[in-house]
Structure 1
Amino acid sequence: MKHRKSCIAILLCAVMIFGTAGCSNTQDTDAKTQTESKEEQKDTEQEKKENPDKEVKKEDPQTDKKENAETKEETGTQDGEKEAVKSDADVQESQEESVPVQTGQAFIYVPDENAEGWDVNQVEIPQVSADALIGQLVGAGVLTDSITVQNFEETEEEGQYVLKLDLSSNFKDSIRSMGTAGEILTIGAVVNSFLDTYQAEAIQITVDGSTLETGHEVYEGFMTHMDYQ
């Protein structure tokens, strides 16, 4: 019985000793932790005092992702605008290259020096028109400069591509002042110049909307390409 009590006493002493040691270790650990924390706080305060303008910036992954996305979007927009400007410039350059100069070829018949036929002159004019052809004939000395075009039509008659030319009344006056050869050569110069230039099959010439009549001939209806005989 005494031996049992002694064992119990020994065990109680051991428990007390280990408990005291554990508390001591815990207290030492807590004291050490508190000391380290105080030292870190002290270092931080010291650093703030030494560098008052320095701020610790925390990185935000979400903010970085957003900024990167906005940068990529802005870069893509700029690249798209550059491509659009380049595309517009290419289209404009292509259009400028594809637009031809509006010129045309005209065939002007001029009575030769011996009054035996016509010399044919091929010329470049800004635009093929009845006024331009009459102007060329006036410039070549075939017609007087007072003759003008009253009306001009390109049409189709009985399946043929034909022309209708109406001139001012002084054209008739000029023709009537000529002899037979001069009349034929002048009328032929007008007829052939228009037919060759427009590649038409026939032409009708009127004066102030009426049939052309001279002292030698009545030019009624359509005339085809003329030859001097």
Structure 2
Amino acid sequence: MKHRKICLAILLGAVLIFGAAGCSNAKDTDAKTQTEAKEEQKDSGQENKETSDKESKKEDTKTDKKENTEAKENPDETAKKDTEKDADKNSADTQEPEEKNTPVQAGQAFIYVPDDNAEGWNVNQVEIAQVTADALIGQLVGAGVLTDSITVQNFEETEEEGQYVLKLDLSSNFKDSVRSMGTAGEILTIGAVVNSFLDTFQAEAIQITVDGGTLETGHEVYEGYMTHMDYQ
């Protein structure tokens, strides 16, 4: 009986030892399996990353090759695009605000003044700040050809039948002024206005009216266009 109990005790101890060894081996196996799985996952992620990097590099290489090929095939077009880009950049950097007020161009005026013997005109060439009808009438007033009460009502530069012509409308006192003159004085005064405007504006003919109507004096009806006048 005693011998039997000893055998059972030995058998039980052996079972416990083998069981413990089995659990230990199982734990080691599980740990090894988990470690190997992690290593495989890590290697797989590394491989995926390397593959992705390789694919990205391939795409970049293809794009660079394509751009280089296009540049070689169309060098003029590429240079043109680069030039346009540089021009746009320079334009944006150097663009300045536009001038709001454009001054009237200065120039020369030709002023016809009746001579002292009433036989023709002396021509004075003067510089004026603004080439306008008002400025020219002002010069004629200053030279004593017209009275200072005469003003410009309207002035037009136009083209008719292929000719560059002028239309000058003066205040009614211009008619009153020339009607008070003799024939010679009237011709010299009107001729001074006609020739001064034609030479200054480089026009071929001029029409002079007063208050929008035909200029009539006691000696003549000045209707339509007049060309450069000569005194005879």
Q: TM-score, normalised by structure 2?
A: 0.56
Q: 1:147 corresponds to which letter in structure 2?
A: I
1:137-148 matches, cutoff 5 A? 137-148=140-151
Q: 2:197 corresponds to which letter in structure 1?
A: F
Q: 1:114 corresponds to which letter in structure 2?
A: N
Q: Which residue of structure 1 lines up, in the alignment, with residue 112 of structure 2?
A: 109
Q: What SS does the aligned partner of 1:185 have? A: helix
Contiguous gaps of at least 5 residues in structure 1 = 1-83
Query: How far does residue 103 in structure 1 lie from its aligned partner after superposition?
Result: 1.6
Q: Which residue of structure 2 lines up, in the alignment, with residue 151 of structure 1?
A: 154
Query: How far does residue 109 in structure 1 lie from its aligned partner after superposition?
Result: 0.2
Give the Cα–Cα distance (whole angstroms) in 2 for the partners of residues 145 and 100 of structure 1.
Answer: 26
Q: What SS does the aligned partner of 1:138 have? A: helix
Give the Cα–Cα distance (whole angstroms) in 1 for the partners of residues 203 and 131 of structure 2.
Answer: 13
1:218 equivalent in alignment to 2:213: no
Q: Which residue of structure 2 lines up, in the alignment, with residue 128 of structure 1?
A: 131
Q: Which residue of structure 1 lines up, in the alignment, with residue 87 of structure 2?
A: none
Query: How far does residue 157 in structure 1 lie from its aligned partner after superposition?
Result: 1.0
Q: TM-score, normalised by structure 1?
A: 0.57
1:42-87 C-alpha deviation (Å, 9 max, x unpaired): xxxxxxxxxxxxxxxxxxxxxxxxxxxxxxxxxxxxxxxxxx9xx7
1:104-145 C-alpha deviation (Å, 9 max, x unpaired): 100000001111000000000001000000000000000000
Q: What SS does the aligned partner of 2:177 have? A: helix
Q: What SS does the aligned partner of 2:147 have? A: coil
Give the Cα–Cα distance (whole angstroms) in 2 for the partners of residues 102 and 153 of structure 1.
Answer: 17
1:199 equivalent in alignment to 2:202: yes
Q: 1:111 corresponds to which letter in structure 2?
A: P
Q: Which residue of structure 1 lines up, in the alignment, with residue 181 of structure 2?
A: 178
> How well do the aligned residues superpose, as a CA RMSD in angstroms?
2.2
Counterparts in 2 of 1:143 and 1:101: CA distance versus 1, 3 Å: closer
1:1-229 matches, cutoff 5 A? 88=94, 102-229=105-232
Contiguous gaps of at least 5 residues in structure 2 = 1-89
Counterparts in 2 of 1:125 and 1:176: CA distance versus 1, 3 Å: same
Query: How far does residue 178 in structure 1 lie from its aligned partner after superposition?
Result: 0.2
Give the Cα–Cα distance (whole angstroms) in 1 for the partners of residues 203 and 231 of structure 2.
Answer: 19
Q: 2:206 corresponds to which letter in structure 1?
A: I
Counterparts in 2 of 1:214 and 1:102: CA distance versus 1, 3 Å: same
On the 8 A contact 2:158/2:164 being kept in 1, the answer is: yes
Give the Cα–Cα distance (whole angstroms) in 2 for the partners of residues 134 and 104 of structure 1.
Answer: 15
Query: Which segments of structure 1 move beyond 4 Å, counting only runs of 4 or more?
Result: none
1:128-185 C-alpha deviation (Å, 9 max, x unpaired): 0000000000000000000000000001111100000000000000000000000000
Give the Cα–Cα distance (whole angstroms) in 1 for the partners of residues 199 and 104 of structure 2.
Answer: 21
